[in-house]
Structure 1
Amino acid sequence: RPVLGVVERPSVIPLSQAQSRMWFINQFDTSSPAYNIPLAVRLSGALDVVALEAAVGDVLVRHESLRTTFPVVGELPRQLIGSVSDVAVELAVVELDAGGVQERIVADAAAGFDVTVDVPFRASLYRVGVDEFVLAIVVHHIAADGASMAPLAADVMVAYGARVAGGVPGWEPLAVQYADYTLWQREVLGSEDDPGSVVSRQLEFWSGVLADVPDVLPLPIDHPRPSRQSTMGATTKFEIPADIRNALMRLASQYDSTLFMVVHAALALLLARLSGTEDITVGTPIAGRGEA
């Protein structure tokens, strides 16, 4: 298959499969924070705000995806990568009581993005004490995932160290940008108009597997489903004793499986018994990182 690398880009860059899904969901409700990814870093000591602003700007220059919007051209969205010259970061220091910083960060994370016009990145800086600061960053999932946040924080700190020393970060340019990956993915998957393409074969397979899946699993719930999804939920914590965990690991090993697959099978069986149907579909989030 084609090698993932830097390629010549067309005048209109399409979205990747994952970006298309994120764009579709975002345009249903641009105020929703469901796909916002927050990051907060506490900074102690004398802080050079100007250097930090420059460092955040360095990171936006380095990663095209953080300065990409997704407007509609004709009938379809496109990737519009913002110019480096348009990257301007202003970190106005906001004074906050230390007890209120978490509430403020949550409020930051709860503000939505309209990815057709908003770059999927924003940053705020809060002073919570003498030489105590919190840098709060929010990125939309169309540009990053959970695994992106540690490298993002590291890049900011590397750039800040260079700026404080009066220089610029000396990192090597990225081998590929996300737009390069998008074009590579399109080439690998092929066109839906070609019945022999990878994407056509995948669509045919999953359309058959999911053909008769019920819209709603008839579970014996204790209250009716709301007419509009609220995204509100709760967490129930429990412990699995060590002897049961070890038994599950032995079972997984016996069938060349994983602990996840064994627990997934148990969940499917439970849902089948509760609902009285064998047509069980369980959605599982994955990183989808098939390439570096």
Structure 2
Amino acid sequence: MKTLKKFLENLANQNVKLWLEGERLRCKAPEGVLTSELQTQLSNHKQEIITFLQQANLKRQFKENLIKPIERNGNPSPLSYAQQRLWFIEKMGLSSNAYNMPLTLHLVGQLDYVALQKSLNQIIARHETLRTTFSEINGTPVQVIQPSFELELPIIDLSELTPSEATTKLQQLLQQENEQRFNLEVDPPIRAQLYQLGITEHILQITLHHIASDGWSLTVLPKELSAIYTATLLEKPSPLPSLPIQYADFAVWQRNYLQGETLSTQL
């Protein structure tokens, strides 16, 4: 490989251009540079050069296809294709609560309500998608990232009920909460409700809309919430690193990447 690189460097120094057209190696050189000796060397190294250029092209394409953060200039971002489909279903009134994604956490032990609420709000500040609303501009759906806000965490006390009554009432309340629709043009795609079953027993219900979350999100959120809550109790900053990209970055990348032949291939 070192020999090949030196050979290619020598060609570059003589302004010899090499590139691929499909599987074929092409060459362009100033007049008089391509001596018979140099042509023989090119012929001998032809397959190596083709392989080298193919690998270089793949590396360049990989770098070009990396998701990069977009400029946060206040302008709305496009929707991803998945979000656009869900938005269309919502606008047609076809979804009811079908795309609500409930997450129910059983909390046992002494609970610090203020720390829990702060932790939820840190999660929302961390993930732009949880504070995003949706609208249309000239018929084109867009997502609007809202500033961080304080999410309400209503608490319903069921501790005065018998265990049987509390279980029945809890199931009713969980179902009622999950049946509530999101107004995606106004509401953030997250709600939270806390139910107290006893001094050291609570149920935290977090309802997400699928336009801002998926099954993977439901596994990540409890872990992040636990980490931030523990740090908050100890009066320490969040141990979680900042996110290098957000969902809006992915949506822009997807729109730019899936075009032309790429879009046809992916579809």
Q: Does the pair score TM above 0.5? A: yes
Whether contact under 8 Å (2:227, 2:239) holds in the other structure is: no
Matched with 2:251 is: 182
In 1, distance between residues paired with 2:153 and 2:94? 24
After superposition, the Cα gap between the structure-2 partners of 1:202 and 1:176, relative to the gap in structure 1 and judged at 3 Å, is closer
* Counterpart Cα distance in 2 of 1:121 and 1:37: 9
* Closer/same/farther in 2, CA of residues 183 and 164 from structure 1, 3 Å limit: same
**Which residues of 2 match residues 49-128 of structure 1 at below 5 A?**
49-84=113-148, 87-96=149-158, 97=161, 98-99=166-167, 100-128=169-197
Cα distance between partner residues in 2 of 1:15 and 1:69: 11
Query: Does the CA contact (< 8 Å) of 1:31 and 1:114 recur in 2?
Result: no
Aligned to 2:70: 7
How many residue pairs match? The answer is 196
Post-superposition offset of 1:9: 5.0
Q: 1:132 to 1:73 in 2, by over 3 A?
A: same
- DSSP-derived class of the 2:78 partner: coil
Give the structure-2-normalised TM-score.
0.69
Gaps of at least 5 residues in structure 1 are: 191-195, 204-292
1:155 paired residue number: 224
Structure having the larger proportion of residues in helix: 2
Q: Which amino acid aligns with 2:250?
A: Y
The whole-number CA distance in structure 2 between the counterparts of 1:57 and 1:27 is 28
In the alignment, structure 2 segments of 5+ residues that lack a partner are 1-60
- In structure 2, the residue matched to 1:20 is 84
Alpha-carbon displacement from aligned partner over 1:216-247 (angstroms, at most 9, x marks no partner): xxxxxxxxxxxxxxxxxxxxxxxxxxxxxxxx
Q: After TM superposition, give the deviation of residue 92 of structure 1 in Å.
A: 2.6
Matches of 2:241 and 2:142, distance apart in 1:
28
Instruction: Give the counterpart letter for 1:105 in structure 2.
Output: L
Q: Is the 8 A contact 1:33 1:109 kept in 2?
A: yes
Equivalent pair of 1:12/1:79 in contact (CA under 8 Å):
yes
Give how far 1:146 is off: 1.2
Residues 66 and 120 in structure 1, CA contact (< 8 A), matched pair in contact too: yes
Alignment of 1:166-205 (within 5 A): 166-190=235-259, 196-200=260-264
Partner residue, 1:243: none
What amino acid is aligned across from residue 114 of structure 1 in structure 2?
N
Letter in 1 for 2:151: V
Structure 1 length-normalised TM: 0.63
**Cα distance, 1:201–1:132 mapped onto 2, change above 3 Å:** closer
Quote the offset at 1:89 in angstroms: 2.0
| Contact map agreement 1:163 1:169 (CA 8 A) in 2 | yes
Which position in structure 2 is the counterpart of 1:39? Answer: 103
Between the aligned partners of 1:165 and 1:107, the Cα distance in structure 2 is 35
Matching residue's letter, 1:80: V
Runs ≥4 residues deviating over 4 A: 200-203
Residue aligning to 2:208: 139
**CA RMSD between the two structures:** 1.8
CA distance in 2, matches of 1:169, 1:30: 40
Tell me how far 1:18 sits from its aligned partner. 0.3
Would the alpha carbon gap of residues 123 and 30 (structure 1) be closer, same or farther in structure 2, given more than 3 Å must change?
A: farther
Q: Which has the larger radius of gyration?
A: 2
Question: Cα gap change, 1:89/1:9 in structure 2, threshold over 3 Å: closer, same or farther?
Answer: closer
Identity among equivalent positions (%) equals 39
CA distance in 2, matches of 1:63, 1:46: 27
Higher strand share: 2
- Structure 1 letter corresponding to 2:156: V
CA distance in 2, matches of 1:202, 1:57: 37
